[in-house]
Amino acid sequence: MEIHKNALGLTAGQRRVLLVVAVLAFLGPNGLYLYYAATQPELNAQALSNPVSLAFMIEAMMLLALFLWFVFKTTRSWAKVGLYLVLAFLGSLAFSLPFFLSRKR
């Protein structure tokens, strides 16, 4: 029996797990953020004025830069880098990375 793997060496089962993680991240933390951004937009301004929140946001941007580099190194495609960037801003890093890895052929 042959196990089908993608370019990263992930089995179909592992790709499904990554896709489930991506969906949960999109609905969970991202859904929570979108809910409060829509119902209490002033919380964004408060988060930007909080040094601890700001540190987490800066860290997320640094991780995004590293993930964008990873996407380019593994795909050699600026279009896929752009797509990953859109996914990261639409969802979150917890959504975009497992989603990207699950789709990587």
In whole angstroms, give the CA distance from residue 21 to residue 98.
7
Averages of pLDDT over each 10 residues, the chain, 105 residues:
63 95 95 94 94 96 96 95 94 94 82
**In angstroms, rounded to a whole number, what is the distance separating the alpha carbons of residues 25 and 2?**
31
**Quick one: pLDDT at residue 73?**
95
- Asked if residue 96 lies in contact with residue 84, where contact means CB atoms within 8 angstroms, the answer is yes
B/e letters for 62-74, b = 16+ CB within 10 Å, e = fewer, are: eebeebbeebeee
Burial (0-12, 13-18, 19+ Cβ within 10 Å), 78: exposed
Per-residue pLDDT, 2:
46
